[in-house]
Structure 1
Amino acid sequence: MTAIRLPTAQPPDSVFGARPDVTESAGAYRAGGGYRSAVGPDELLHHLDASGLRGRGGAGFPVAVKLRAVREAGMREGAVREGAVREGGGVPVVVANGEEGEPGSVKDRWLLRARPHLVLDGLAHAAAMTGAARGYVYLSDAEAGARVRRALAEHPPPLPIEVVETDRTYVAGEESAVVRRIDGGPALPTAKPPRPFERGVGGAPTLVSNVETLARIALTAARPGLRLRIARSTLVTLSGGSGTPLLTEIPYGVPLRTLAAAHGTPDAAGALMGGLFGGLVGARGLDLPLEPGALAAAGTALGCGAIRLLAAGACPVTVATAAVGHLAAESARQCGVCVTGTAAVHDALRALAAGTAGPQTLANLTRWSRALPGRGACGLLDAAAGTAGSLLRAFPERIPFHLGAACPACAAGLPADGPGRLAVAVPEVADAPSAHIAPPALPPLPALKGTP
């Protein structure tokens, strides 16, 4: 079971709140300053812009830019309707995206189970900033759905909000798939443009925002003076290695090596970053600070904050094969280049793991890692090609041992492929407070040095 570790000093701007192991009630949330704003919508947008808050769904897009784009698109739609130039479009829509397709991530489902009011508060603020008149909470976790519905009944929101459930898949959380599912179709990506901020749910400009992003919007509204700390902290899911999977909150700038030691894998040989989006990094990559700019400069990404550590004896070829196998199984099968490209990358990696690959296999992987990104309707093909490319870059010394002969670490057995291979369990969240519930059992993380 995935555990929760709190920072050494629990600040008031933490996403974890007072009891991360128990679903927070509306009364408890209000008592902690929730559902109150120290600033109006325009001023809040200014604070979000000044803080540099980025989305926590994976792409890391600046939040204020996205909010303004939806608001401005809505204003243009209003002007068009008044001039009777065309029909369609409409008042903006806001969506809390809690569909967590990355197999190594648990933060979004935990947030919806433990702190639904924080997410709903952020969604209401997003609606005020964009001029939205209706909202949705989009998720695939039935337990989270039940707690969100109860939270809506406990504290009726200032705009109609509907909970929409879907099946959990890797592509179901992609923003165009979110729109398509809410509109009654399958949760599959569509070609862009238009993007949801231009034409989304029901044809209206639509903000699709990750639930952690919305939580940080609500925290900023209540405590604008702490905007930089709120924007520069993030939830991280650590798994793999030799430690227990855990969910924690860290400030930007903490070295990955420090987290690996706290997780119980001090001798990590590398990591699979950003769920399946950031690719592999080797042992030297563990000294990188967990900060979007520094990671991007090094050719990797924090993504959704899911990090799978490689134990000292683990083979990165095995890990890459499992990751791409997961992606191949999760393909939406809408784009021919994705179906054939992802399968080809997976087959080549399996050949490496089995010791049956030759020089041409390596040449193909190199070529595909450069040529395939950007050719699918969503990021799945990019993730598969990026994982292969990162393996070749981060572990060049390991590849020769797989050409024509299986390495000892891979000889124990090829990884089982499929969606369940890399899954991490959501931390336990009790449905309501009671006397017998104990606080989180794990000790806090040691003091971590990072940007305050």
Structure 2
Amino acid sequence: MTPIAVRQVGPPRLTLGMEGTRRLDWDEHRRLHPGLEPYTVEQLAALAEAGHLHGRGGAAFPFARKLRAVAASAVRRRKRTVVVVNGTEGEPGSAKDKVLLCRAPHLVLDGAALAATALGAREVIIGVTDPGAADSMERAIAERGLGARARVARLPERFITGEGGALVRGIDGRRPIPPGRKVRAATRGVGGLPTLLSNAETYAQLAVLAGLGPERYGKVGLPGEPGTVLLTVTGSARFPAVVETPAGAPLAHLLDLCGSRAGEGVLVGGYHGAWLSGDGATRAQVSRAGLAAFGATLGAGIIMPLGRGTCPLGECAQVARYLAAESAGQCGPCRLGLPDIAGALAALAAGRDGAGALEVVQRASRLVAGRGACHHPDGTIRFVRSSLEVFADDVARHVSGGGCGRPVLGVLPAETEAQLRMEVDWSRCDGHGLCADVLPSLIRMDEYHYPVLPEDPIPARLEADARRAVAVCPVLALRLVPRAPHDAVAPARPQRGR
């Protein structure tokens, strides 16, 4: 993990002792944080309720309810339980969980151990994608002498890896994608056992809550949202950082702390989150209720100011393309809808057929919403719709004038691109469609059943799939070629009549 600064608004709790980039070993951790007494399930649930402890996902699910559901399922099925720490954090622009796992691993383990003891869990599993986080957690397990009672599961770095069902599948040795149907981990999780699955920050918060007690824990924050929250502030910030702040702090203060302003908009909650207008961001509070008042959610705890020097629509188009490529590709909305939306948004950003491209985005968004096998399509649609709404003036300039005249600076991080792009020999292509079957996130078929290829370079993580798509073409019409210079013109597709 590339080191990132850690800043605090007020006294630190989760980030206590994180001067510089040093890792707190077992001895240092114990000097800063007291040992914790064991709890029963009901005692721990009552503690979580007193501290208003919620998950750090978009749903902000109450931790106490999840804990009781796992315990009830274990009794009903007469099964042992498993505790899983979700430390995957595969979303671009997020670093808060990596900071916890790399620098304060024992705080996360303290919370996980509290839950495991209360539930009588068989083991604690920490799911991670970052190599540095994996190494830190494995060292922490050894430092505590946990042996077979805890282990680290290393998973591939993908956006969808952190989805609960995908994480359970990955830990079980299967492909880490959403299962396609809702299966609650509390009922049937890792190895089919009742599983308590929560975010790394949630377990760290549980440890801080147990150490301080509800009264001291609630000395900062809001009455309904006590304590602090951990945020990653990136985007156009001159001083990107992981920031610990009391709930209820002004968002504008956090942006100022990281050397940024609201500008034309601030993305809150990550790529499944929503945009705040510049005016909304200057008035919003960092809390679930404060952001909900502006139609946003804290979600993954990511704050991305856009700044003023880049094309908003172009930035959003790059993210939409990334999200389409990151899908599991197991349902129509992901296989067809998201690539259509990404392609049309890219055309709109490039000033090609503005009104027609906008209509495609809007129509496809209506068709995709609520119909996916997991939450990825809905999260993507939320991002796209929010982009069109907050940047409506910029959209209008692209529709009427072919663009806004600003470059796309890549303020919103997306996939690192390989140095290859895909071309087709139209004299050979017969429209078999096998390439789209292999690579549905990038290749779609038009109304005449001919492939529509991406004009941008192939994302690095999809290069292997792209090579398979080339290999399956029965007439050898596809090829991968070195990435063209930025001023090169992509080969034109022939116009086909009916």
Cα displacement (A) at 1:415: 9.3
The AA in structure 2 aligned to 1:243 is R
- Structure-2 change in CA distance of 1:183 and 1:414 (3 Å): closer
- What is the CA-CA distance between 1:352 and the residue it aligns to? 1.4
Partner of 2:274: 279
Distance change (3 Å), C-alpha of 1:8 and 1:356: closer
Query: Taking structure 1 as reference, are residues 143 and 283 closer, same or farther at Cα in structure 2, changes over 3 Å only?
Result: same
1:319 to 315, 318, 325: 315
Q: 1:267 to 1:375 in 2, by over 3 A?
A: closer
- Quote the Cα distance in structure 2 between the aligned partners of 1:282 and 1:250: 22
User: Structure with the greater relative contact order (CA < 8 A, sep ≥ 6): 1 or 2?
Assistant: 1
2:5 is matched with: 4
Q: How does 1:396-411 map to 2 (within 5 A)?
A: 396-410=392-406
Any gaps of 5 or more consecutive residues in structure 2?
418-498
Aligned to 1:181: 170
Displacement of 1:59: 3.1
Cα deviation digits, residues 314-365 of structure 1 (max 9, x gap):
3321221121121122122222321211111111111111011332332332
SS at match of 2:346: helix
| Structure 1 residues 116-195: aligned runs within 5 Å | 116-157=105-146, 160-195=149-184
Deviation at 1:378, TM superposition (A): 2.5
TM alignment of 1:200-349, pairs within 5 A: 200-224=189-213, 225-228=215-218, 229=220, 231-266=226-261, 268-286=263-281, 287-349=283-345
* Distance of aligned partners of 1:408 and 1:114 in 2 relative to their CA distance in 1, 3 Å threshold: same
Counterpart residue number, 2:364: 368
Contact 2:315 2:410 in 1 (8 A): no
**Unaligned stretches of 5+ residues in structure 1:** 79-89, 422-452
Q: Does structure 2 conserve the Cα–Cα contact (< 8 Å) formed by 1:321 and 1:346?
A: yes
Separation in structure 1 between the aligned mates of residue 233 and residue 305 of structure 2, nearest angstrom: 7
Q: Secondary structure at the match of 2:232?
A: strand
Query: Aligned partners of 1:51 and 1:330: how far apart in 2?
Result: 36
| CA distance in 2 between partners of 1:242 and 1:199 (Å) | 42
Q: Please tell me whether the aligned partners of residues 38 and 222 of structure 1 are also in contact (alpha carbons under 8 angstroms).
A: no
| 1:160 aligned partner, one-letter code | R
For 1:367 and 1:35, locate their aligned partners in 2 and report how far apart those are by CA, in whole Å: 56
C-alpha distance 163-267 of structure 1, shift in aligned 2 (>3 A): closer
Please identify, of 328-337 and 64-73, the stretch whose mean Cα deviation from structure 2 is larger: 328-337
Q: Which whole-Å CA distance do the structure 2 matches of 1:158 and 1:133 have between them?
A: 12
| Contact 1:44–1:220 (8 Å) recurs in 2 | no
Larger CA Rg, structure 1 vs 2: 2
Once the two structures are TM-superposed, the CA of residue 391 in structure 1 deviates from its matched residue by 1.4
TM-score, scaled relative to structure 2: 0.77
Quote the residue 2:382 is aligned against: 386
Structure 1 partner of 2:481: none
Are residues 169 and 268 of structure 1, via their aligned partners in 2, closer, same or farther at CA, if it must alter by over 3 Å? same
Cα shift at 1:3? 3.6
Counterparts of 1:306 and 1:263 in 2: how far apart (Å)? 13
CA RMSD in angstroms comes to: 2.4
Label 1:49 to 1:361 Cα distance change in 2 as closer, same or farther (>3 A).
Answer: same
Q: Distance in 2 between matches of 1:116 and 1:367?
A: 46
Which residue is 1:15 aligned to? 14
Contact conserved, 1:24 with 1:115, CA < 8 A, in 2?
A: yes
Q: Which amino acid aligns with 1:19?
A: M
The Cα shift of 1:227 comes to 3.2
Letter in 1 for 2:166: A
